[in-house]
């Protein structure tokens, strides 16, 4: 069975998404000052371990806008992935190799995990990850923990969710980002 691995840039207070576009707490505003070769290598290793992406609608649309018409190694990889988009509002998914999941998400993700292949990667898609954590479908969390406290924004772990995690690996980037992989027990 393949693993479902969710990856997040996360602040010390658990924020994974600022309150909105253009806000001082947007992702680029608090992560980019810490970007270094160690962070890039950690992200790249996660990308190389997967051959499929599972995305919520908002992340899918953002990634499609950024990568569908782009070139370069990262864009080529993103365009080549098999992509599954969980959405109740999209009628179609036009980005290369994309399919919609509109029915029972738990059943469909369970079927995806039973197929052969490399890891199924997730990046962003916080609402979807929260739902999949509640149903014990996430196998690992790659958390890039930034040395910032944002004080507000969308948090990764919803109130009432309890999880037991086992640390698989941990290192610190030169810029102070804690690069971790946790197995969901």
Residues 37-76: tens digit of each pLDDT: 999 999 999 999 999 999 999 889 989 998 999 988 888 9
Predicted local confidence at residue 137, as pLDDT:
97
pLDDT in tens, 92-101: 999 999 999 9
Predicted local confidence at residue 37, as pLDDT:
97
Contact 139, 183 (CB under 8 A): yes
Range with the lowest mean pLDDT among 13-27, 56-70, 168-182? 13-27
Q: Rounded to a whole number, what is the largest CA-CA distance in the chain?
A: 44
Q: Please give the model's pTM, rounded to 2 decimal places.
A: 0.92
- Chosen CATH of 4-184 out of 3.40.430.10, 3.40.50.2300, 3.40.50.2000, 2.40.160.20: 3.40.430.10
Cα–Cα distances (Å) from 150 to 25, 89, 111, in that order, read 7, 31, 37
Q: Residue 155: which of 179, 172, 133, 176 has the closest Cα?
A: 133
For the chain, the average pLDDT equals 91
Q: From start to end of the chain, where are the E strands?
A: 4-11, 15-17, 50-56, 82-86, 98-101, 119-123, 140-146, 154-155, 165-172, 178-184
Contact 147, 45 (CB under 8 A): no
Contact 132, 109 (CB under 8 A): yes
DSSP secondary structure code for residue 163 in this structure: -
Distance (Å, whole) CA 109 – CA 115: 10
Predicted local confidence at residue 24, as pLDDT:
46
In this structure, what token pair is assigned to residue 121?
């990667």
- Which residue(s) pair with 143 in the sheet? 8, 180
CA contacts within 13 A on the Cβ side of 170: 7
Predicted local confidence at residue 28, as pLDDT:
65
pLDDT in tens, 117-154: 999 999 988 889 999 999 999 999 999 999 999 888 88
């Amino acid at each position: 069975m393949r693993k479902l691995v969710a990856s997040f840039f996360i602040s010390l207070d658990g924020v994974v998404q600022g309150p909105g576009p253009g806000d001082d707490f947007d992702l680029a505003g608090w992560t980019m000052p810490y970007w270094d070769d160690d962070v890039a290598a950690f992200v790249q290793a996660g990308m190389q371990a997967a051959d499929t992406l599972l995305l919520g609608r908002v992340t899918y649309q953002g990634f499609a806008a950024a990568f569908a018409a782009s070139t370069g190694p990262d864009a080529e990889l993103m365009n080549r992935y098999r992509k599954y988009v969980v959405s109740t509002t999209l009628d179609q998914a036009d980005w290369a190799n994309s399919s919609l999941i509109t029915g029972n998400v738990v059943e469909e993700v369970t079927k995806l995990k039973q197929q052969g292949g490399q890891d199924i990667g997730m990046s962003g898609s916080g609402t979807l990850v929260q739902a999949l954590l509640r149903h014990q479908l996430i196998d690992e969390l790659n958390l890039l923990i930034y040395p910032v406290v944002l004080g507000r924004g969308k948090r990764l772990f919803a109130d009432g969710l309890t999880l037991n995690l086992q640390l698989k690996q941990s290192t610190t980037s030169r810029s102070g980002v804690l690069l971790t992989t946790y197995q969901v027990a």
